A and B are shown apart, each in its own frame.
Chain A
Amino acid sequence: QQQVKQSPQSLIVQKGGISIINCAYENTAFDYFPWYQQFPGKGPALLIAIRPDVSEKKEGRFTISFNKSAKQFSLHIMDSQPGDSATYFCAATDSWGKLQFGAGTQVVVTP
């Protein structure tokens, strides 16, 4: 079963809007939470990542919010652009370095 639950499955946002994707996990052994962006026919690329000792991390238009007590984390894409249209995966890594991926969110940014 999926150890990292991701929602929504898809979302449509207008150019300039905010895209928000949420993830939740149960395994408290997870200690590294990356987000990946994947375009059709390509491998996933690391977008931004956070450790559990930090509640928020921002890199450009991308922000991760992390709630350790709730075991939830989210990705915010500010000022969404058509080039951001892609599938986004949250993930979590255990102490063995294995990545557990969420189901993915297909984001479409309309002009």
Chain B
Amino acid sequence: GAVVSQHPSWVICKSGTSVKIECRSLDFQATTMFWYRQFPKQSLMLMATSNEGSKATYEQGVEKDKFLINHASLTLSTLTVTSAHPEDSSFYICSAGTSGGSSIYYDEQFFGPGTRLTVL
């Protein structure tokens, strides 16, 4: 089956620093990757959608200058949390979608294992 990895699996950083999270599709090419955020005991909230080679589309209320997303290749997307603060502490999950023709319509999303970010 389709496998998505994330690195690191957990990270602790000081307030004001930046943290980069990588999301890789290991055995398929992902034309679209999604980034989610999940707080304890809550559902997944979509942050942004990224397509390979183009700028990410952010959901309403998500600061694009704070959460930098780069989708440089069909197998790698990165999320950089800039100037992290304690309120950014969360579980960040990526997913990758395969493309059926020119659209991801009807295609599944395969989720990574998540990255636990703790900002002190």
Chain A interfacial positions (CB closer than 8 Å to B): 2, 31-32, 34, 36, 41-46, 49, 89, 95-99, 101-104
List the A side residues contacting B91 at CB < 8 Å.
Answer: 41
Q: Is the CB of A97 within 8 A of B111?
A: no
List the B side residues contacting A36 at CB < 8 Å.
Answer: 111
List the A side residues contacting B67 at CB < 8 Å.
Answer: none
Q: Is the CB of A44 within 8 A of B105?
A: no
Cβ contact of B34, chosen from A45, A46, A99, A102, cutoff 8 A: A99
List the A side residues contacting B111 at CB < 8 Å.
Answer: 36, 43-46
Interface check B43, CB cutoff 8 A: yes
Q: Is the CB of A42 within 8 A of B114?
A: yes
Contacts A46-B108, A99-B109 aside, 8 further interface pairs with beta carbons under 8 A come to A41-B114, A42-B114, A43-B111, A44-B93, A45-B111, A46-B111, A99-B46, A99-B95
Query: Mostly helix, strand, loop or mixed at chain A's interface?
Result: loop
Residue of B nearest to A49 (CB): B108
What number of A-B contacts does a CB cutoff of 8 Å give?
54
Residue of A nearest to B2 (CB): A46
Cβ contact of A89, chosen from B43, B106, B107, cutoff 8 A: B43
Residue of B nearest to A95 (CB): B105
Q: Is the CB of A34 within 8 A of B43?
A: no
Cβ contact of B108, chosen from A31, A34, A104, cutoff 8 A: A34
Residue of A nearest to B104 (CB): A97
Cβ contact of B113, chosen from A32, A42, A95, cutoff 8 A: A42
CA distance A2 to B43 in the complex (A): 10
